[in-house]
Amino acid sequence: MEAYLERHFRSALGRLGAPEDTRVEFEIPQNSEHGDLSTNVAMALARPLKKSPRQIAQDIIGHLELDNGYVRLVEIAGPGFINITFSKTYLIDQLRVVLDEGATFGRTATNEGKAINLEWVSANPTGRLHAGHGRQVCLGQAIANLLEWTGGKLTREYYFNNAGNQMANLAKSVHVRYLQELGDEIELPEDGYRGVEIVDIAKQMVAEFGDGKRAAPLSFFQSFGEQANFASIQRTLERLGVHHDVFFNENSLYDSGAVETTIREFKERGLAYEKDGALWLKLSEMGEKEDRVIVKSTGEPTYRLPDICYHRNKLGRGYDQIIDIFGADHIATIADVLAALRALGYDTERIKVIIHQMVSFVSGGELIMFSKRSGGAYTLDELIDDVGVDAVKYFFNMRSAGSHLEFDVELAKEQSEKNPVYYVQYAHARIASILRFAEQQGLDTSQVEQADLTVLDHAEEHALIKVLLRFPTVLSRSAASLAPHHVCEYLREVAQQFHKFYHDCRIVGSAPEIQSARLALTLAAKRVLASGCTVLGVTAPESM
């Protein structure tokens, strides 16, 4: 409908001599009495057309040629808003579309043919995923689903960071814990990893090798620890149904010569210089505040350098869009990496970076800092055990990535309408129960899709249809803004509107023709709820 209206509004604006770049945007009024869609285009044109907004609005309406019977009313409100009210014909025709398209309703082609690389999680293999990692894990999964629902050709990627000082610390930590398990009195280095998983790895080594690896080089302990930790990470991701197509190994950037090549190009272009034995990048000449070290005096690259090389690699693979999801701790480096890429001649407009804020976990009003079981970090596995997979995914996607998230563990466990995911899932289960009851009463629900929908006249029936019809637009806009929290908000609205419809409109037991039409509308709501849950990676239960 919005595309149809925009086309006709633009035609009317052309007759009025409005600037060609005039934006025509529609919003859903907060008050349903103000129509189904509203636009402020008349107010935006007051200055260029030198008329009052209400006069412009009247002129626009006078030139509109809406000829398909889908608009019942166009009227002016307030200082110059133009409000549009849909006709019953439109609602019934579009409900038929929802039923005909079935499980594919909501899919669009807004990203059709676009090759997209989405990189997320990318946790270092130095320990288990802690609960805070869950936000990125679930955010990325929902964004991936949104991009695919809108036609994108997606590559899911994990940047496997197994180089640098952190891996050297892992090697030392595993080695010391191994020796401690063998009975040696030896202290863990101050910068060593102290998680219980390192002790578990050491115990596994003793069980496998006994004391046969006492003299093994640190590279052995690094490799063993890396593989064990990464296997743990993958098991946790599997619990959440998260998978990746590509695991990009940071070491490959060094082995392939990409790092050396990038350093040489920076020098050849006069973008790098040596100072105090370190190599500095001239970021101050690239629009950033100050220069940064990219190779330390010890010869070890800082993380900016491999990040630059990695993005050169991704840009060279021909993607139309590259999306990175990072935690707030990366915010200081992103601008530097993008500036360096531009200095090397790359188009960074293809790169979209999502920064998500941190998460705090509360239970009973108190902050959860540590695991009750181990005394260490509260892990993502423990969070899943505490509240379940569906609550984990839904709660992590309820707020915009840029806002701080307080994850209420007790609320996530609660089985009541106060729990957002329970509320949505309960609506789906309730619909499934209604359809089962209809079958028990001898009705053939497989035939309700062919019902005469024109008998749907109740205000709550129309209100529910209007909410359902917004599903494709919600998905398209959520995909465009990479913001799945809009889907959570929408599903709650669908559930809420269905409950209103159910309260006011008797379904099973009403007049036969109305009963069939209402069952068809009920089935449409069920499908939209199920599809929305699928996008979020959440189940849509048949019973609760």
Q: What is the mean pLDDT of each run of 10 residues along the chain (544 residues)?
A: 89 90 91 91 92 94 87 93 95 96 95 97 92 97 98 96 84 96 92 89 96 95 95 97 96 94 97 96 95 94 94 97 94 94 96 96 88 73 97 98 96 96 98 96 89 96 97 96 98 98 96 96 98 98 95
Beta strands in 58-152 (DSSP E): 71-77, 81-86, 115-119
CATH superfamily ID and name for 417-536: Isoleucyl-tRNA Synthetase; Domain 1 (1.10.730.10)
**Residue partners of 97: CB distance under 8 A and separation at least 6:** 105
| Token pair in block for residue 399 | 């707020």
**Residue partners of 367: CB distance under 8 A and separation at least 6:** 360, 361
Which residue, among 247, 246, 200, 248, has the nearest Cα to 225 in the 3D structure? 200
Burial letters 41-53, b for 16+ CB under 10 A, else e = bbbbbbeebebeb
CA 347 to chain centre: 24
Which residue, among 286, 298, 273, has the nearest Cα to 337 in the 3D structure? 286
Cβ–Cβ < 8 Å for 125, 162: yes
| Token pair in block for residue 531 | 């599809």
Please, which residues bridge with residue 130 across strands?
A: 379
Cα three-residue angle 179-185-191, rounded to 5 degrees: 70
| Token pair in block for residue 116 | 């997209």
Q: How confident is the model over 283-300, as pLDDT tens digits?
A: 999 999 999 999 999 998
Q: CA-CA distance, 72 to 74, in Å (whole number)?
A: 7
What pLDDT sits at residue 405? 96
Q: CA-CA distance, 73 to 86, in Å (whole number)?
A: 7
Q: Phi first, then psi: give them for residue 534, nearest 5 degrees.
A: -60, -40
What pLDDT sits at residue 69? 87
Which secondary structure element, helix H or strand E, spans residue 100, and what is its range? Answer: helix 88-101
Grouping H, G, I as helix, E, B as strand and the rest as coil, residue 267 is: helix
Q: How many residues does the chain have?
A: 544
Q: CA-CA distance, 103 to 108, in Å (whole number)?
A: 13
| Token pair in block for residue 462 | 């129309």
Instruction: Please state the pTM of the whole predicted model.
Output: 0.92
Same fold for the pair 2-86 and 417-536: no
Q: CA-CA distance, 233 to 212, in Å (whole number)?
A: 27
Please, which residues bridge with residue 82 across strands?
A: 39, 76
Cβ–Cβ < 8 Å for 137, 242: yes
CA 389 to chain centre: 16
| Token pair in block for residue 345 | 């001649």
Q: CA-CA distance, 157 to 44, in Å (whole number)?
A: 43
CA 63 to chain centre: 41
Amino acid occupying residue 235: R
Q: How confident is the model over 382-391, as pLDDT tens digits?
A: 999 999 999 9
Q: Hunting for tokens 């050491």 — which residue is that?
A: 202
DSSP string, 457-489: --HHHHHHHHHHHTHHHHHHHHHHHT-THHHHH
Please, which residues bridge with residue 271 across strands?
A: none
How would you list the strands of the sheet with 278-281, edge to edge?
Answer: 272-275, 278-281, 292-295
What pLDDT sits at residue 169? 92
Cα distances from 27 to residues 343, 428, 458, 459, in angstroms, run: 41, 28, 24, 21
Q: CA-CA distance, 385 to 379, in Å (whole number)?
A: 10
What pLDDT sits at residue 374? 57
Give the residue extent of every domain in the chain: 2-86, 165-239, 359-413, 417-536
Cβ–Cβ < 8 Å for 142, 536: yes
Which residue, among 259, 267, 255, 261, has the nearest Cα to 310 in the 3D structure? 259
Neighbouring C-beta atoms of residue 103, cutoff 10 Å:
10
CATH superfamily ID and name for 2-86: Arginyl tRNA synthetase N-terminal domain (3.30.1360.70)
